[in-house]
Amino acid sequence: MAGQLKEVRNRIKSVQSSQQITKAMKMVSAAKLRRAQDSILQMRPYAKKLQEVLSNIVSNAEGDASGNLAVERPIEKVLMIVITSDRGLCGAYNSNIIKLAKLTINEKYAAQFAKGNVQIWSIGKKGFEHFAKNNFKVSETYKDIFLHLDFGHVQACSNAAVKAFENKEFDVVEVVYSEFKNAATQVFRVERFLPIMKVKKKDGATKSDFIFEPSKEQLIAELMPKILNTQLYKSVLDSNASEHGARMTAMDKASENANEILRSLKISYNRARQAAITTELTEIVSGAAALQG
């Protein structure tokens, strides 16, 4: 009986230690989430308007004026930029992004994948580790971006993707990431990065007539890479906020589960202790009766 009580006490101490860790991680993630949330909320309207401007200019341009980055080619080679986190303990966050990337490959690019023409650039260590272990063609060049998250490092990745598309190393570039809604909600998305999507005009809509200074071609050539850099940076900031939100929620649930386990263990401990006391009292009473007899 004493051994059983000691075992339950050790389990209670172990769960309490784990609960202290989950509570601390929740507080750290909450603090990081506030900063990450401020960054993406400030960035999102700017990035959205830039994307609208770029899509409208490209849609109204004719022929070669739309630029090399808006050219639709037969899809032979595919690049997928998959944004995960560097660390775990954030629920199903990383697994959901990886599943979406695989689902996209299976549904849209199965033929290209079978030929070995699907390349993955992983931003975040978790994605890189998974794809490398499962024999995907994955690059580790940009996996450490979250160690020093700033516009310059993301810009390097964006510029490399743009250059590879222009050199026809890839015919399409997709970004798989998590859009931040709130601490408990993330929306996992696949967005076309290149070629730039044109806005479909509604039937009967008139063509917009702009006066460009400098020329339309020069403006498109100058704006395209800069706006694409902003779009990828927005996706990375979205993913960063989503990661901290997912981790904060996961640690909160873990702390609640620890409370439930502690409650159950304490009930078991009290029952075992009461049984031990009852047994001891029974033995004392039996001994006393034996002496009197």
Question: Per residue in 203-229, pLDDT tens?
Answer: 555 555 667 677 777 777 788 888 899
**pLDDT of the residue at 63:** 53
With bands split at pLDDT 50, 70 and 90, how would you rate the model's confidence at 283?
confident
Whether the per-residue pLDDT at 6 is higher than 90: the answer is no
- Report which of 251, 88, 104, 91 is spatially closest to residue 186, judged by C-alpha positions: 91
Give the tokens for residue 270: 């009290």
Q: Are 83 and 178 in contact (CB under 8 A)?
A: yes
Question: Per residue in 243-261, pLDDT tens?
Answer: 999 999 999 999 999 999 9
Residue at 153: amino acid letter: H
Instruction: Say how far apart CA 251 and CA 19 lie, in whole Å.
Output: 9
Give the tokens for residue 261: 């386990």
Half-sphere exposure of 184 (CA within 13 A, CB side): 2
Q: Which helix (H) or strand (E) holds 2?
A: helix 2-60
pTM score, whole prediction: 0.85
Whether the per-residue pLDDT at 197 is higher than 60: the answer is yes
Question: Per residue in 105-116, pLDDT tens?
Answer: 999 999 999 999
Superfamily classification of domain 20-251: ATP synthase, F1 complex, gamma subunit (3.40.1380.10)
The CA–CA distances, whole Å, from 174 to 19, 71, 148, 162, 241 equal: 40, 15, 23, 12, 20
**pLDDT of the residue at 68:** 80
Give the tokens for residue 281: 């009292």
Distance of CA 21 to the CA centre of its chain: 22
Domains of the chain, by residue range, sit at 20-251
Question: Per residue in 59-113, pLDDT tens?
Answer: 766 555 456 888 889 999 999 999 999 999 999 999 999 999 999 999 999 999 9
Share of the chain above pLDDT 70, in %: 91
- Report which of 282, 244, 280, 207 is spatially closest to residue 2, judged by C-alpha positions: 280
Average pLDDT, the chain: 88
Question: Per residue in 137-194, pLDDT tens?
Answer: 999 999 999 998 999 999 999 999 999 999 999 999 999 999 999 888 999 999 999 9
Instruction: Say how far apart CA 187 and CA 160 lie, in whole Å.
Output: 27
Give the tokens for residue 2: 């004493």
180 CB burial (10 A radius; 0-12, 13-18, 19+): buried
**pLDDT of the residue at 67:** 66
**pLDDT of the residue at 50:** 83
**pLDDT of the residue at 1:** 58
The CA–CA distances, whole Å, from 87 to 111, 128, 189 equal: 32, 12, 20
**pLDDT of the residue at 2:** 64
Give the tokens for residue 166: 């222009």
